[in-house]
Structure 1
């Protein structure tokens, strides 16, 4: 079931999938001339906060979590990047160290592009630079939404929003059959995404299950009633 008109999912997703589409064939070839592929297993670190960037990554398949870690070692997941998205380019553009870390949420195939090739095409292609600037501007909206949720929402509302966003991330896997996607995510990652304690996530999932909003099979979550989940989010 589409979320159009029911929940503003566009305010929760980055738009870097469209960035490369504006490149000419020649520019695309030059951008990817020295690319390399890297297969990451679940939990593999792609880059760490504070490291010096040497290039950007394109997610060819799988999902990647971007997160920050506090002094106690607890993660706060700030975004889940999907197939086709670019990650790691903020630090390259700013000529700074990585402001966050990235790790594979599941087995993922990434394409690495050296920063010299990325910067060269960025300087050469006005449409590419414009599209990337537009994507960065939209990301500000996404981050502002996330900050608002953590500051103002209850645990129930945070978890509901996290599940709705994840449903959008996973739904393409079942696009042919039309079935609701299975959200394959650990309770710890779900807690770090919603910004609540893991034990609260477990309790709330049981409550949602009792209300018929979702079903679980092991760690997989199946949304049964998206309308009720949207109501739980209390997002207007």
Structure 2
């Protein structure tokens, strides 16, 4: 089911997958001249908060979580990135250390582009610089929206919102005709919602009894997205 007219999903996605789409061939070749690929297993870290960036990351397969750790080393997941999206360029553009960490939510294939190649291409390419500026502006709007919405919502409402957002993310890699499975641990889901795992488990059980979703192990299957939108209290 499409969310058009039901829920503003664009306000929850960074859209960085558009940055490299149809980049002029010469510029794309220059950018990728020294690109390498690496496979990451679930939980493997791409980069850690506070470290010096040496390049950018392009997701070719899988999903990556961006997160920060609090003083008790508890994760607060900021965003889940899909194939086609870029990570790590904020720190390079600002000439600062990584402001957050990134790790694989599932088995993933990530391409790494060295910092020099990225900056050299950026200096020569008006297309890339304009796209990055547009993407950064949109990301700021997304983060502002999520902070504002989550500050005013209950745990139940926040969980409904995250299930809607995750359903769209996992939909992108689901074959036509197949049921969309949100494949995420309850700990990660709790860290996205900003609550204890026990609360997530309790509300998932409530949603299941109400016929809104089914669960099989860690996989969640949303049956009634309209009801989730109602619960989210999003207007």
TM-score (norm 1): 0.98
Partner of 2:72: 72
Superposition pairs of residues 21-170 of structure 1, within 5 angstroms: 21-170=21-170
Contact 1:22 1:128 in 2 (8 A): no
CA offsets 1:25-69 (integer angstroms, 9 cap, x no match): 011001000000010000001100000000000000000000000
Q: Could you tell me how far 1:172 is from its partner in structure 2? A: 2.1
- The answer to whether residue 4 in structure 2 is matched with residue 4 in structure 1 is yes
Runs of 4 or more above 6 Å deviation: none
Q: Structure 1 residue 22: deviation in Å?
A: 4.5
Moved more, 166-175 or 115-124: 166-175
Residue 205 (1) aligns with residue 204 (2): yes
CA distance in 2, matches of 1:207, 1:21: 42
**d(CA) in 1 for partners of 2:179, 2:194:** 25
Note the alpha carbon deviations across 1:110-130, whole angstroms, 9 max, x for none: 000001000111111111100
**Structure 2: runs of 5+ lacking an equivalent:** none
CA contact (8 A) 1:35 1:112 kept: yes
SS state at 1:20 partner? coil
Aligned residues of 1:23 and 1:125 also touching (Cα < 8 A): no
Distance 1:77 1:146 in 2: 12
Q: More deviation in 71-80 or 148-157?
A: 148-157
Check the 8 A contact 1:55/1:92 in 2, yes or no.
Answer: yes
Q: Shift in Å at residue 151 of structure 1?
A: 1.2
Please report the RMSD computed on the Cα atoms of aligned residues, expressed in angstroms.
Answer: 0.8
> 2 CA distance for matches of 1:175 and 1:7?
23
Unaligned runs of 5+ in 1: none
Shift of 1:176: 1.7
TM-score, normalised by the number of residues in structure 2: 0.98
